[in-house]
Amino acid sequence: MSIKYDEQNKLFHLKTSDTSYVLQVFKKGYLMHVYYGAAVADPCTDDLISYEPFSSFSPKPEQDDKSFSLDAIPREYPAYGNTDFRTPAFQIALENGTRITDLKYAKHNIYSGKPAIEGLPATYCEDGDKTDTLEIVLKDEIAGLSVVLYYSVLEDYNVITRSAKLMNDGKQELKLLSALSMSMDFYNDTEFELMHLHGSWARERQISRIPIGMSHHVVDSKRGASSHQQNPFMALLRKNTDEDQGEVYAFNLVYSGSFIGQVEASQYNSTRVSMGINSFDFGWVLNPSEVFHTPEVVMVYSKHGLNAMSNKFHRLYRERLCRGLYRDKQRPILINNWEATYFDFNEEKIESIAKAASELGIELFVLDDGWFGTRNSDESSLGDWYVNKKKLPGGLERLAQTVNQMDMSFGLWVEPEMISPDSELYRNHPDWCLQVPNRSQSEGRNQLVLDLSREDVCTYLVDVLSSVLSSAHITYVKWDMNRHMTEVGSLILPPERQSETAHRYMLGLYHVMETLVSKFSDILFESCSGGGGRFDPGMLYYMPQTWTSDNTDAISRLYIQYGTSLVYPPVTMGSHVSDVPNHQVGRTTSLKTRAITAMAGNFGYELDAGKLTEIEKDEIKEQIKLYKAIRPMVQFGDFYRLLNPFEGNRAAWMAVSKDQLECVVYYYRILKQPNLPAFRLKLRGLNETVQYQLLTTDKVYYGDDLMHRGIAIPHYEHDFSAVLIRLKALE
Ligand code: DGJ
């Protein structure tokens, strides 16, 4: 069992093979955080926490202990209102208008396995996994509130997850003003830097690292989506931490809506970390006997730097977050017509691209936006999910058959959550979008957001998508979402529940996705939100890959993919070769560099294959052969970052096969610099004693030589150049 309970000291010790998490039921039943970090033996119980807040400015909740203030205690899931002035994990308004609660330990339960969270995505365990769960029930008798804290220990994955369930056990109505998923305090420790992933459309997941100082930091989205702007990820790092060394405490929320992550250093040198649904514009009415379950936070500790942190996230997400047929299956190399045609295509054009693609060895053709309604631009038709017979006279069925005859499978783009004001659907159901009466409706990309907090809208979506997906032999779906929420309100919710709209939307969306991915379990789903605007673990639970960014420029992608790889595994990152000059940034890079960048993820093309020259076709055929050879390693091996483009003029990373007998190394020079000495790149993750042959040469290296002395990078670097190196163990 990975969870131990010491009855005498009321101490819980949660342990993975390299991590310990310790908490204790303290004075009068308050739950105290004792330790989180490298695995330790049980802590000495005579020396857990000493608290001496002498100041009257840290008031005392218990009159029989005048030295005890919650303000000075490291806590788990703190309530608001009695002596702890830091950010609470939740806040509740009672019927009398008061917002004070006080949670005390009531009971706990330890068991094997990990429960699912109803209606929400979460990591899971399978038979044979070493996974245990601790539930601690805290109560506020006056409010009639119980809070169940869930801690699951995925021992083999070296991960601990947390979530909370708030239950109204009383007789009065409770209104949740905030309900985060987790909160914990690092005791007497503020020596951290905060790392998070920020960005924008076409510039997702750039890395930011800042000292936390003695202040309060917020990483959040108020956009109704996890967003391009901030990813629901944050990590606390020691100053010396880099890719290979130093401590990292990482937190990632399994949720796709507005979120908040906070780091708050406080006067007694503690650091509070909390994460969950954003409390801004959130509220939830909890009637007697109702429950509210928060999303899950995945917590990863690494004492060996960021690569080790990423390895843990990658393995967990590949194996115990993603689900379905494609979880363990190699993903097809695809071609998508978006950048080749935008909205301007017909059957003949699509078939010509598909035909050229099939001759190159591409495995899947994806028909992007523009196939339905009268959609000839982004100004109409979202919601009208019937084929535009002017463009595709034979419908999807004939097109899919033609593509199948070319020995490729057929995939389709949809954007189900949206509605164009210029659509049949909107004319028939103007009440079906998010809106606030008497206010104008802001459009983004000429579209409005469907109100997925409504059951009728969700039912409609399941029905209409089911009929589209059954209308042809479709084996892949790209599920897009191209604007954020404004005028967040629902016409069917009563006034006191309007602030539930955004979370109800997420529950509706997850319900629709769950229904469709179960019903169409043979289909490979890829999520997308104007590129990588919803690249989060919530989406990966339903759809095992995500379009990383609309920016397909190879150089911009180095930064985007480097940042994304901190948390999300390469198999989840859609990355394609597109035309030049690049459509987003106008840069021209070689076909080779574009391919070597895209081959670090889930590979494909985004161009008009019919327009390629014979020389380009030959080069692409070789690229496809190469990717097929390295695919198992890239998609299911271990990934290591080697050189950080945010810190210099180069980037490098590598993938190593699970058995460590093979690896592929990617090296990129961003801008050439004159007169540089030869460069040796130090590899990672190899077996020190194995001899590796540099493919296509007869050079042989020991693993330790490659990792400690490094491998020489050929001298022919130029602006935007890339090199791909393969090494294989000698037979
Ligand atoms: C945004 C996506 O990210 C693009 O790849 C493309 O599918 C367009 N939407 C289509 O409108």
Q: What is the pLDDT of residue 617?
A: 98
Structure tokens at 279: 């409390």
Mutation probe of ligand 1 site: the residue of 335, 369, 539 with most atoms within 8 A of C-beta: 369
The atom of ligand 1 lying closest to the CA of 445 is 11
CA 481 to ligand 1 centroid distance, Å: 8
CA 129 to ligand 1 centroid distance, Å: 39
Which DSSP letter does residue 624 get? H
Does residue 556 have a pLDDT over 90? yes
C-beta of residue 39 within 8 angstroms of C-beta of residue 1: no
Mutation probe of ligand 1 site: the residue of 338, 375, 539 with most atoms within 8 A of C-beta: 338
Does residue 7 have a pLDDT over 80? yes
CA 402 to ligand 1 centroid distance, Å: 24
pLDDT band with cut points at 50, 70 and 90 for residue 575: very high
What pLDDT digit, counting tens, does each position of 642-688 carry?
Answer: 999 999 999 999 999 999 999 999 999 999 988 888 899 999 999 99
What pLDDT digit, counting tens, does each position of 136-151 carry?
Answer: 999 999 999 999 999 9
Kindly state if the Cβ of 480 falls inside 6 Å of ligand 1.
yes
Mutation probe of ligand 1 site: the residue of 528, 548, 549, 552 with most atoms within 8 A of C-beta: 528
CA 445 to ligand 1 centroid distance, Å: 11
What pLDDT digit, counting tens, does each position of 680-695 carry?
Answer: 999 999 999 999 999 9
Does residue 358 have a pLDDT over 80? yes
Q: What is the pLDDT of residue 64?
A: 85
The atom of ligand 1 lying closest to the CA of 528 is 3
Kindly state if the Cβ of 373 falls inside 6 Å of ligand 1.
no
Task: Give strand ranges (E) for 9-158.
Answer: 11-15, 19-25, 31-38, 90-93, 104-112, 131-140, 145-154
What pLDDT digit, counting tens, does each position of 512-555 carry?
Answer: 999 999 999 999 999 999 999 999 999 999 999 999 999 999 99
What pLDDT digit, counting tens, does each position of 140-191 carry?
Answer: 999 999 999 999 999 999 999 999 999 999 999 999 999 999 999 999 899 9
CA 228 to ligand 1 centroid distance, Å: 14
**Phi, psi (rounded to 5 degrees) for 154:** -95, 90
Does residue 565 have a pLDDT over 90? yes
Q: How far is CA 273 from CA 197, 222, 265, 268, 553, in A?
A: 17, 19, 9, 15, 36
What pLDDT digit, counting tens, does each position of 414-425 carry?
Answer: 999 999 999 999
Q: What is the pLDDT of residue 479?
A: 98
pTM tops 0.85, yes or no: yes
Q: What is the pLDDT of residue 49?
A: 78
The atom of ligand 1 lying closest to the CA of 606 is 5
Neighbours of 379 (CB within 10 A): 16
Kindly state if the Cβ of 530 falls inside 6 Å of ligand 1.
yes
What pLDDT digit, counting tens, does each position of 226-285 carry?
Answer: 999 999 999 999 999 999 999 999 999 999 999 999 999 999 999 999 999 999 999 999
**Phi, psi (rounded to 5 degrees) for 492:** -100, -5
Kindly state if the Cβ of 547 falls inside 6 Å of ligand 1.
yes
Residues with catalytic roles: 480, 550
Pairing of strands 476-479, 409-414: parallel
Q: What is the pLDDT of residue 326?
A: 98
Mutation probe of ligand 1 site: the residue of 378, 480, 481, 539 with most atoms within 8 A of C-beta: 480
Q: Which residues contact 170 (CB under 8 A, 6 or more apart)?
A: 143, 144, 145, 288
Residue nearest (by alpha carbon) to ligand 1 atom 2: 530
Kindly state if the Cβ of 482 falls inside 6 Å of ligand 1.
yes
Q: What is the pLDDT of residue 675?
A: 84
Structure tokens at 418: 């949206």
Kindly state if the Cβ of 339 falls inside 6 Å of ligand 1.
no
C-beta of residue 598 within 8 angstroms of C-beta of residue 627: no
Instruction: Work out the mean pLDDT of the chain and round it to a whole number.
Output: 97
Give just the sign of the alpha carbon dihedral 400, 405, 406, 407. positive
Q: What is the pLDDT of residue 267?
A: 92
Helices (H), 75-167: none
Kindly state if the Cβ of 550 falls inside 6 Å of ligand 1.
yes
Kindly state if the Cβ of 517 falls inside 6 Å of ligand 1.
no
Residue nearest (by alpha carbon) to ligand 1 atom 1: 530
What pLDDT digit, counting tens, does each position of 90-108 carry?
Answer: 999 999 999 999 999 999 9
Alpha carbons 138 and 157: distance in angstroms, whole number:
28
Q: What is the pLDDT of residue 37?
A: 97
The atom of ligand 1 lying closest to the CA of 550 is 3
Give just the sign of the alpha carbon dihedral 167, 173, 178, 183. negative
Residue nearest (by alpha carbon) to ligand 1 atom 11: 369
CA 245 to ligand 1 centroid distance, Å: 39
How far, in whole angstroms, is CA 522 from its chain's centroid?
A: 23
Q: Which residues contact 150 (CB under 8 A, 6 or more apart)?
A: 115, 133, 134, 135, 161, 162, 163, 164, 165
Residue nearest (by alpha carbon) to ligand 1 atom 9: 530
Q: What is the pLDDT of residue 62?
A: 86
Q: What is the pLDDT of residue 67?
A: 83
- Count of positions (residues) in the chain: 731
pLDDT band with cut points at 50, 70 and 90 for residue 589: very high
Between residues 45 and 463, which one has the greater pLDDT?
Answer: 463
Kindly state if the Cβ of 531 falls inside 6 Å of ligand 1.
yes
Q: What is the pLDDT of residue 44?
A: 86
CA 369 to ligand 1 centroid distance, Å: 7
Q: Rounded mean pLDDT of 278-306?
A: 98
Kindly state if the Cβ of 368 falls inside 6 Å of ligand 1.
yes
Kindly state if the Cβ of 528 falls inside 6 Å of ligand 1.
yes
pLDDT band with cut points at 50, 70 and 90 for residue 51: confident
Residue nearest (by alpha carbon) to ligand 1 atom 10: 369
Kindly state if the Cβ of 448 falls inside 6 Å of ligand 1.
no
Structure tokens at 139: 């109560």
Kindly state if the Cβ of 84 falls inside 6 Å of ligand 1.
no
CA 311 to ligand 1 centroid distance, Å: 30
C-beta of residue 653 within 8 angstroms of C-beta of residue 310: no
Between residues 42 and 377, which one has the greater pLDDT?
Answer: 377
Does residue 55 have a pLDDT over 90? no
CA 482 to ligand 1 centroid distance, Å: 8
pLDDT band with cut points at 50, 70 and 90 for residue 127: very high
What pLDDT digit, counting tens, does each position of 455-510 carry?
Answer: 999 999 999 999 999 999 999 999 999 999 999 999 999 999 999 999 999 999 99
CA 503 to ligand 1 centroid distance, Å: 25
CA 729 to ligand 1 centroid distance, Å: 41
Q: Rounded mean pLDDT of 703-727?
A: 93
